[in-house]
């Protein structure tokens, strides 16, 4: 009975979402407050029913209800309970439900934390969120119902969760990622609402900023978790594969980063409005595109769900309606006139504009690389895939350039910056980062051009960031007072930029100075990797909850011959799906990882062993934690909690007076 209740809850949620999409919006256009007042209760009700459906699906998993097709396909009675729980989002239907749960969660959050916003704005924003929810609930109910039953022939046991997904990383990676993806829907809804009522102003930018920053922080964490998971679970020690689905998560991250920066300019200086609105629409559209690419089966990927043309078509129509209608709205309503605020050729505005250019260029690059195979196929020019070399070669220069620009941009001033003054400011950071880079090169004992520019760019960002903090915190009442006086959003920015530098350093050093060896080893053999020795001691067998494993015992010795750690990489055979998975043995450290994976058995007592020495690889994920922490710190800034003084915005404007008044009036 419970699954049917879940189905009912979904249908009721759809009805509430439809009401939310229409009623408050009508109220806001006709100026009727009673209708607008529905927006918050409807959002709450919507959340309750989607959460109920999600809870009932979880219940079906935890109680092994294999009469539900989705449970039977993605779970097994032998799974430990926590994997039964995470298996809820281990397949297409359930992860879609999680997606929707996040969406209505964000809707609820907007409803709760928007007391200071004008009612018209709130009702329009919530209505737009409601429209998106209607689309996705329809998609779920019509094409991907997680509550479908297999009756009367209920399978005795389930087909099991894909062993790749039986991992801690997967328990938290999708929720984080979806929080980010879906979180951009708030910035999108704010943009659409602003386009509808023509209020593209600093207040709009200020409301959008914290939501964008939170979504971006979650997305940063989600991407980092995915990369970490790929690193230790896919078994071969790579941390980014430029896989279409990875790219799909990187795309909204890149444009979301651009959006955060451009929102800052719009808030502070009232410029780039059209651009910012476009970015908000594009960022959410890229989130939707990612969802489409993963679920439609148009691209090959390790992550892709089983493809289904019907679902693909439905999703594409959904995407088309959302994106085309919002961009059309944009085309008609976005302001095109020049704003009065002027800025010089060298100013913080221009630096942030260049930052946006670089980020958008990298977004387009990744997008192009991801869909190029599709385009070629469409034009009947054959099939090919674009691999790492293309991305590495084109993406790295953009990342380095963004770093260099960032370091200089930190010192720049709004409106006008004196070139000579800026040049003199940059002299010391330039000298210091050249020195740091040279020391790093000497430390790793080899000069590599890419390592040089990458390290330089990263240390340049770090030094400039601290330099700026040092200068800003100078105070007559002492350094500590000066440090305390800086706002939380300033510290958020510092953390975010440091995070970016840390990621850049990690990526540069790990890919340039990493050592990778594939060797044939038998028990008793020793192999050298970097300064370390790996001794293959013995092999053995063990049994896990739902797998059997063959493991190798390795001792890692440093150059003096002292034992660093003992690693037991293994090959697991999962009992239900009969897949073999490689579990790597990783000796993790802040400055280096030693990675051992057991490959194929090449002879009676010999295995192919992959040994890797990965310097600074942890920094990739550490940097993402810094970025996310910066984002969360920034939104806790008190300026977002101060009541907006412009009370008159609460008065609903009758639609008649607005119709002939395009958005330009707002500037």
Q: Which of 22, 51, 327, 575 binds other proteins (CB under 8 A)?
A: 327
The DSSP result for 128-188, as a single string, is HHHHHHHHHHHHHHHH--TT-B--SS--SS-----GGG-SHHHHHHHHHHHHHHHHHHHHH
CB of 80 to other proteins, least distance (A): 26
Beta strand 547-557 pairing with 570-574? antiparallel
Closest to other proteins by CB, 270 vs 297, is 297
The minimum distance between CB 230 and other proteins, in angstroms, equals: 20
Q: Which stretch binds other proteins (CB under 8 A): 328-336, 395-403, 619-627, 629-637?
A: 328-336
Q: Judged by CB under 8 A, which of 74, 114, 247, 274 binds other proteins?
A: 274
Neighbouring-strand partners of residue 535: 526, 555
Min CB(66)–other proteins separation in Å: 23
Nearer to other proteins (CB atom), residue 197 or residue 326: 326
Q: How far is the CB of 545 from other proteins (least distance, A)?
A: 23
Minimum distance, C-beta of residue 569 to other proteins, in the bound complex (Å): 20
The Cα 90–Cα 86 span in angstroms is: 7
Residue 312 binds other proteins (CB under 8 A)? yes
Determine contact, residues 81/162, Cβ cutoff 8 Å. no
Task: Decide if residue 313 touches other proteins (CB under 8 A).
Answer: yes
Q: 10 Å Cβ neighbour count for 288?
A: 23
Q: Which of 43, 285, 455, 465 binds other proteins (CB under 8 A)?
A: 285
Nearest CA to 609 among 601, 621, 618, 619?
601
- Which of the residues 372 through 431 are near other proteins (CB under 8 A)? 374-375, 377-378, 382-383
Phi/psi of residue 614, each to 5°? Answer: -125, 95
Site string for other proteins, 595-624 (x = CB under 8 A): -----x------------------------
For the record, the structure tokens of 59 come out as 């219940």
Q: Which of residues 321 and 588 has its CB atom nearest to other proteins in the complex?
A: 321
Instruction: Output the smallest distance, CB 177 to other proteins, in A.
Output: 21
> How many other CB atoms are there within 10 angstroms of residue 652's CB atom?
19
The residue among 126 and 289 lying less far from other proteins, judged by its C-beta, is 289
Residue 125 interacting with other proteins (CB under 8 A)? no
Burial level of 516, CB count in 10 A (0-12/13-18/19+)? middle
Distances (CA, A) of 412 to 85, 267, 422, 447, 492: 50, 17, 7, 32, 18
Selected binder of other proteins within 142, 320, 545, 566 (CB under 8 A)? 320
The answer to whether 126 and 541 have CB atoms below 8 angstroms apart is: no
Angle of helix 388-409 relative to helix 449-472, nearest 10 degrees, comes to 30
Asked if residue 324 binds other proteins (CB under 8 A), the reply is: yes
Contact 465, 497 (CB under 8 A): yes
* β 585-587/592-603 pair status: antiparallel
Q: Is 660 in the site for other proteins (CB under 8 A)?
A: no
- Binding mask 330-349 toward other proteins (x if CB under 8 A, else -) reads xxx-x-x-------------
Other CB atoms within 10 A of residue 79 CB: 22
**Residues near 112 by Cβ (< 8 Å), separated by ≥ 6?**
none
Give the shortest CB-624-to-other proteins separation in angstroms: 29
Residue 47 binds other proteins (CB under 8 A): no
Does the protein bind other proteins through residue 474 (CB under 8 A)? no
Region 291-310 residues binding other proteins, contact defined as CB under 8 A: 292, 296-300, 307, 309
Member of 278, 280, 500, 529 binding other proteins (CB under 8 A)? 278
User: How far lies 343's CA from each of 293, 340, 359, in Å?
Assistant: 41, 10, 21
- Using CB under 8 A, list all residues that contact other proteins: 274, 278, 281-282, 285, 292, 296-300, 307, 309, 312-313, 316, 319-320, 323-324, 327-328, 330-332, 334, 336, 371, 374-375, 377-378, 382-383, 578, 600
């Amino acid at each position: 009975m419970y699954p049917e209740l879940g189905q009912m809850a979904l249908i009721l949620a759809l009805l509430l979402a439809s009401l939310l999409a229409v009623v408050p919006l009508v109220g806001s256009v006709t100026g009727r407050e009673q209708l607008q007042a529905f927006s918050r209760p409807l959002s709450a009700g919507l959340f309750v029913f989607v959460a109920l459906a999600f809870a009932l699906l979880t219940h079906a998993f935890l109680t092994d209800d294999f009469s539900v097709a989705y449970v039977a396909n993605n779970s097994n009675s032998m799974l430990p309970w926590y994997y039964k729980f995470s298996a809820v989002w281990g397949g297409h239907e359930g992860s879609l439900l999680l997606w929707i749960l996040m969406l209505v969660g964000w809707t609820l959050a907007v409803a709760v934390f928007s007391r200071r916003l004008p009612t018209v704005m709130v009702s329009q924003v919530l209505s737009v969120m409601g429209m998106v929810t209607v689309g996705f609930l329809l998609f779920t109910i019509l094409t991907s119902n997680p509550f479908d039953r297999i009756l009367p022939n209920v399978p005795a046991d389930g087909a099991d969760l894909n062993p790749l997904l039986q991992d801690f990383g997967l328990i938290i990676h999708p929720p984080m990622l979806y929080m980010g993806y879906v979180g951009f829907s708030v910035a999108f809804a704010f943009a659409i609402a602003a386009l509808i009522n023509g209020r593209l102003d600093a207040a709009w930018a200020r409301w959008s900023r914290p939501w964008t920053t939170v979504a971006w922080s979650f997305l940063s964490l989600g991407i980092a978790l995915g990369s970490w998971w790929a690193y230790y679970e896919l078994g071969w020690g790579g941390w980014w594969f430029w896989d279409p689905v990875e790219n799909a998560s990187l795309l909204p991250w890149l444009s979301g980063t651009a959006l955060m920066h451009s929102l800052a300019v719009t808030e502070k200086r009232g410029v780039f409005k059209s651009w910012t609105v476009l970015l908000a629409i594009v960022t959410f559209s890229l989130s939707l595109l990612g969802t489409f690419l993963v679920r439609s089966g148009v691209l090959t990927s390790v992550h892709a769900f089983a493809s289904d043309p019907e679902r693909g078509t439905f999703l594409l129509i959904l995407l088309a309606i959302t994106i085309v209608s919002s961009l059309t709205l944009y085309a008609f309503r976005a302001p095109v006139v020049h704003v009065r605020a002027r800025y010089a050729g060298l100013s913080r505005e221009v630096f942030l504009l260049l930052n946006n250019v670089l980020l958008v260029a990298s977004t387009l690059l990744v997008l192009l690389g991801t869909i190029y195979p599709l385009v070629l196929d469409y034009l009947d020019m054959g099939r090919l895939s674009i691999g790492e070399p293309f991305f590495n070669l084109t993406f790295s220069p953009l990342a380095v350039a963004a770093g260099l620009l960032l370091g200089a941009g930190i010192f720049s001033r709004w409106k006008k910056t004196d070139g000579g003054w800026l040049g003199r400011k940059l002299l010391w950071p330039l000298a210091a980062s050249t020195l740091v880079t040279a020391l790093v090169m000497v430390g790793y004992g080899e000069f590599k051009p890419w390592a040089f520019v990458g390290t330089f760019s990263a240390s340049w960002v770090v030094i400039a960031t601290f330099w700026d903090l040092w200068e800003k915190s100078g105070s007559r009442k002492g350094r500590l007072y000066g440090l305390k006086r800086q706002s939380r959003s300033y510290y958020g920015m510092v953390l975010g930029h440091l995070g970016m530098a840390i990621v850049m350093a990690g990526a540069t050093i790990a890919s340039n100075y990493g050592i990778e060896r594939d060797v044939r080893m038998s028990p008793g053999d020793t192999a050298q990797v970097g300064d370390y020795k790996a001794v293959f001691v013995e092999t053995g067998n063990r049994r896990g909850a739902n797998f059997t494993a063959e493991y190798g015992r390795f001792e890692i010795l440093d150059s003096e011959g002292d034992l660093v750690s003992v690693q037991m990489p293994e090959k697991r055979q999962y009992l239900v799906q009969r897949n073999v998975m490689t579990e790597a043995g990783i000796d993790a450290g802040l400055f280096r990882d030693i990675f051992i994976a057991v490959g194929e058995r090449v002879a009676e007592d010999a295995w192919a062993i992959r040994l890797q020495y990965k310097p600074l690889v942890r920094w990739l994920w550490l940097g993402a934690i810094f970025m996310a922490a910066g984002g969360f710190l920034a939104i806790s800034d008190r300026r977002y909690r101060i009541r907006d003084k412009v009370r008159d915005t609460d008065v609903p404007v009758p639609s008649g007076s607005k119709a002939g008044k395009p958005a330009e009036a707002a500037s």
